[in-house]
Amino acid sequence: MRAWHGTKMAIVAATFLVCAAAVFIRPAIPGRPADPRPAELYDVVLQELQAVREADYVNAYRHVSLSMQERYNLDVFANMIRTERPDLVQFDRVEFGTTRVRGRQASVPAYLFLPGGEIVAVTYVLVREEGAWRIDASHVQRRWSRGYHVGGTRL
């Protein structure tokens, strides 16, 4: 009888210890993912621009968000690039401004330097989907004529 009483006490004590341990040892709450490095966002925009420059619309389409793919099928997307912004695919170089990240959305200002000396400011809106950054929209903000000097720091 005494042995049975000791066994019951051991079971109760072990149960209590497991419950107490569960209070202190619980899975860590996943934190907010770290903000992306600006270079990671720049790379997405550069890959998109390079694909569009080479008229590789299938590859360019891979860099746009799922919501954009729902709005435009591949043919409409390619036609939109060819007709709405044909001069932008002939850029000489691209420079980037300061990125802004809010949760799973980012804004990336890009300055496209065209062969004729024109500079076009385009803001790219990126969204984080399925573990990758994708372009959700792009907006031409401004165009400067030949000879205009954009301020900023060059690295």
Q: Which of 129, 130, 136, 131 lies closest to 45, judged by CA?
A: 136
Query: What is the pTM for the complete model shown?
Result: 0.72
**What residue ranges do the domains of the chain occupy?**
35-144
Q: What is residue 29's predicted lDDT score, i.e. its pLDDT?
A: 59
- pLDDT digits (tens), the chain, 155 positions: 666 666 777 677 667 666 666 666 766 555 566 778 999 999 999 999 999 999 999 999 999 999 999 999 999 999 988 888 777 788 899 999 999 999 999 999 999 999 988 999 999 999 999 889 999 999 988 888 776 666 654 54
CA distance 111 to 143: 9
CA distance 111 to 92: 11
73 CB-contact burial (10 Å; exposed 0-12 / middle 13-18 / buried 19+) = exposed
Considering the segment(s) 35-144 as one domain, its CATH architecture is Roll (3.10)
Which residues have a Cβ under 8 Å from the Cβ of 75 and sit 6 or more positions away? none
Query: CA distances (Å), 13 to each of 2, 10, 30, 85, 141, in order?
Result: 17, 5, 32, 73, 69
CA distance 75 to 93: 27
Scan for tokens 């066994």, then name that residue: 7
143 CB-contact burial (10 Å; exposed 0-12 / middle 13-18 / buried 19+) = middle
Q: What is residue 155's predicted lDDT score, i.e. its pLDDT?
A: 45
